[in-house]
Amino acid sequence: MMATENIKQPEIRVLPMPSDTNASGDIFGGWLMSQVDIAGSIAAHRYVGNRVVTVAVDKFQFLKPILVGDLVSIYAEISHVGNTSLRISLNVMAERERGTEKAQKVAEAILTYVSVGEDRKPKIINKK
């Protein structure tokens, strides 16, 4: 077994650009919410094996600012699986001055997704 297999991998890594900033020059909160939703939906889709939709943002907390050039990594963990819905906890880490500093937790969120069929209606999740 390779040593890296036990290391938790982020669902996505992304580099914010100057176009993602707010009027003060820091990264716009809505940009981060969008990235977190993408990361959560990837984890949810992988678990259920079919289409998912976001039904609720149960929590979203911005802990520290994100700066242009930070390497942003979003980690996802399934915290609850219901009949057709699943709740995902997400942690957002930022590496400032890439490679020179330890990653800091800059935000955390909990989002709920619903498994849906072709008809866009809730579809039962086969629990693993």
Ligand X SMILES: CC(C)(COP(=O)(O)OP(=O)(O)OC[C@H]1O[C@@H](n2cnc3c(N)ncnc32)[C@H](O)[C@@H]1OP(=O)(O)O)[C@@H](O)C(=O)NCCC(=O)NCCS
Summarize as ranges the residues that interact with ligand X (CB under 6 A).
53-56, 82-85, 112, 114, 116, 120, 122
Q: Which residue minimizes CB distance to ligand X?
A: 82
Identify the CA nearest to 32 among candidates 80, 67, 77.
Answer: 67
Q: Which is nearer to ligand X, 69 or 82 (CB)?
A: 82
C-beta of 35 vs 85, nearer to ligand X: 85
Beta-sheet strand order (sheet of 12-14): 12-14, 71-81, 85-95, 104-115, 52-62
Burial of 122 from C-beta contacts in 10 A (0-12 / 13-18 / 19+): middle
Least distance to ligand X from the beta carbon of 83, Å? 4
Residue closer to ligand X, measured from CB, 73 or 89: 89
